[in-house]
Amino acid sequence: MTRELPHVALSASAHDREGTRRTDDEWLAERWADASTRVLVLAGTRLRPVDGAVQWVTPAEAPEGRRLLLGHAEGVTRFAVIAQPGDVPGERDEWLGLRALFPRLVAGDEALTVEVSWLFHALGLAEWHWATRFCPRCAGALESTHAGHEQRCTSCGKSQFPRTDPAVIMAVTSGEPGSDEERILLGRNAQWPEGRFSTLAGFCEPGETLEDAVRREVMEETGVLVGEVTYFGNQPWPLPASLMLGFTGRALSEDIEVDGIEVAEARWFSRADLRGETDADVVVPSGVSISSSLMQSWLGEPLTAGW
């Protein structure tokens, strides 16, 4: 059943990352010299779609820059090159960051969705290289190694690795499971317009289990106590460096008291509310995010009142 849910589309075409080849300089040079190899050009942390699609060039067409080995699929090796913005073609506003592209990915834009595994890999690494320029231990200069997947301090020798921050996202329900009385807890971010709701989410803290992170975040944001927590699935979310870990949870209380900081409003919704069969003012995400999958799985059918 999980394979049919919306969030799976963003990780359905995983590529072989060639992790064992990242220090094989001879092999890397050979692949770069091969005319069949394709390169994604990045201007810092941005890429330039051409006619709405991702543009891949040959190594000979790629500008100078930091090379990142992405891997291969269907017999084609792929790299990304992080170039200086002044060394790439096109106007500055033609180069888009992942946040600008993401609405099209969430909406299921096929021209981009089929490339999402490569985009997440390349842009995630590019964001890391941009944000991690000096050694956090001694402030020394970092040099890129392992085909862009590691940086080593030139002063103290300590290695740095790409960072991924675990974040929990949860569908918390109350009432007899499967009954008409069962309801789901959704919240409205303080920056969202009236009527827009989604599942709650938050980052895992040091020394905390994922299940306890679910309970803590729900309590902090809405005042609702959560008991049983069950793993649902996960989704890469490199905006800039998160992994969304989906859970379902059973509420032990129903009284709501929002924190007023991250969450401006939280409410319990029935299946009829999400189907649009009531006068509830609710719009929920209906794209390829794991939030949509959590709600769709609970609802038992595709969402219709989506954004």
Contacts 24+ apart (CB under 8 A), 30-33: 31/77, 31/79, 32/59, 32/67, 32/79, 33/59
Q: What is the pLDDT of residue 3?
A: 45
Inter-residue contact 215 to 302 (CB < 8 Å): no
Is 127 in contact with 150 (CB distance < 8 Å)? no
Which 3 state secondary structure label does DSSP give 91? coil
- pTM for this predicted structure: 0.89
Whole-number pLDDT of residue 255 = 97
Q: How far apart (Å, rounded) are the C-alpha atoms in residues 187 and 176?
A: 21
Indicate the burial class of 40 (C-beta count within 10 angstroms; 0-12, 13-18, 19 or more): buried
Quote the pLDDT of residue 114. Answer: 67
Q: Could you tell me which CATH number the domain at 165-299 has? A: 3.90.79.10
Q: Under 8 Å CB-to-CB from 3, ≥6 apart: which residues?
A: none
Strands 165-174 and 242-251: parallel
What is the structure's pLDDT at 107?
Answer: 62
Where in the chain are all domains bearing CATH 3.90.79.10?
165-299
The pLDDT of residue 148 is 98
Burial class (CB in 10 A: 0-12, 13-18, 19+), 144: middle
User: φ, ψ for residue 301 (rounded to 5)?
Assistant: -165, 165
Nearest to 125 by CA among 235, 195, 18, 42: 42
Note the pLDDT of residue 50.
83
Ranges in the chain, pLDDT < 70: 1-3, 9-10, 12, 105-114, 305-307
Identify the pLDDT of residue 54. Answer: 87
Residue 2's pLDDT is: 46
